[in-house]
Amino acid sequence: MGVLKHYRELFPITDATPIVNLEEGMTPLIPLPRINKRLGINLYGKFEGCNPSGSFKDRGMVLAVAKALEEGKRAVICASTGNTSASAAAYAASQGIPCFVLLPAGKVALGKLAQALMYGAKVIAVKGNFDRALELAREGAEKTGCAMVNSVNPYRLIGQRSGAWEICDVLGKAPDWHAIPVGNAGNISAYWAGYNEYQKLGKIDSLPRMMGFQAAGAAPLVTNQPCPNPETIATAIRIGNPVSAHLARAAVSESHGEFNSVTDDEILEAQRLLASEGGVFAEPASCAPLAGLMKLKREGRLPEGITVTMILTGNGLKDPNTAMSQVGKPIEINDTLEELMRVLESK
């Protein structure tokens, strides 16, 4: 039914708010028994790749677009590392309003670019990094009156709280740890707000530790200073100056959690492990939490038997190039049974 209908009473929705809906949310919380064995914990992956545009961004975008329409806005604009633009473009298309997206030129995964173009957005490649594209989008929004639908838009983070509510609704409690990749730091802040709201409503009686994982080449929350030239293959978290840094810091300190960083090699290893032992194909940024849990396990800092939810923020199909660069090519054969048998019987 979509998150606006499902969690209507928890959202700032009035009779004047259009119920925009692409059937986002209600994503599966997937048990990962083979990976549990390695880590000695009770791990679930919440697969946000099942959302309509293939990432968690849809949870907040649906509310941001609904409120923009309610306020009489007739176009949306955003800067994006890829998934925000795919999501904004999808919801704008469904409502018949124009969408402008600013992307860092050459730094967006192929699938995300294809999505924004297919949904009919006006795609603008900025020769600069994400942080600069975001500044420009803000200025453009101010000058034109377009609705700015980056996570500086408060409705984005409110909509994203629904992820925490779904986890608690399914588990019947909060997890012990909540592991999540951190880029612009909105999602970790939204989850923390969501868990807190559920505790106030009496739906859960404990709160998770918030464990935020960044890529080593773009880890301003770990180093505690902005990173002027962020670099990582995990393009969705290639952000040097997170807009919601203050909220994310509060979430981590209030929950006695931590920020940690993982290298690109560790992220790619985790991505292969999640696919080959979990059966879930998530994009590189989404695999930073698993890489981080593996790192904590190696360091002896992962408590046995705890329940951990990790947010698999985006679908692996969005970034086929990164995936193909790490795996072998298909085995090519002539169309004979003989050649097929040679492959089937080889070890």
Cβ proximity of 249 and 224 under 8 Å: no
One of 149, 283, 290, 323 touching ligand PLP (CB under 6 A):
283
Minimum distance from CB of 47 to ligand PLP (Å)? Answer: 11
Mind giving me the DSSP string for 81-92? Answer: SSHHHHHHHHHH
Per-residue exposure over 100-110, b if at least 16 CB sit within 10 Å of its own CB, e if not: bbbbbeebbbe
One of 83, 85, 153, 232 touching ligand PLP (CB under 6 A):
83
One of 103, 179, 182, 204 touching ligand PLP (CB under 6 A):
182
Beta bridge pairs of residue 77: 100, 148
CA 76/CA 14 separation, integer angstroms:
21
One of 43, 101, 147, 237 touching ligand PLP (CB under 6 A):
237
Q: How do beta strands 209-215 and 258-262 pair?
A: parallel
Interface with ligand PLP (CB under 6 A), residue total: 18
* CB-closest chain residue to ligand PLP: 314
Beta bridge pairs of residue 200: none
Minimum distance from CB of 178 to ligand PLP (Å)? Answer: 13
Minimum distance from CB of 146 to ligand PLP (Å)? Answer: 20
CA 93/CA 103 separation, integer angstroms:
18
- Residue 25 sits in the site that holds ligand PLP (CB under 6 A): no
CA 65/CA 74 separation, integer angstroms:
10
Q: Which is nearer to ligand PLP, 207 or 311 (CB)?
A: 311
- Residue 53 sits in the site that holds ligand PLP (CB under 6 A): no
How far CA 284 is from CA of 54, 259, 318, in Å, comes to 13, 18, 10
Cβ neighbours of residue 345 under 8 Å, at least 6 residues apart? Answer: none
One of 55, 150, 232, 271 touching ligand PLP (CB under 6 A):
55
Show the site string, 285-324: x = touches ligand PLP by CB under 6 A, - = not: xx--------------------------xx----------
Minimum distance from CB of 259 to ligand PLP (Å)? Answer: 11
CA 270/CA 297 separation, integer angstroms:
13
211 alpha-carbon distance from chain centroid: 14
Residues counted in the chain:
347
Tell me the window of 67-75, 171-179, 184-192, 257-265 that interacts with ligand PLP (CB under 6 A): 184-192
Tell me the window of 91-99, 116-124, 183-191, 258-266 that interacts with ligand PLP (CB under 6 A): 183-191
- Residue 241 sits in the site that holds ligand PLP (CB under 6 A): no
Judged by the rule CB under 6 A, the positions of this chain that interact with ligand PLP are: 55, 57, 83, 151, 181-187, 236-237, 283, 285-286, 313-314
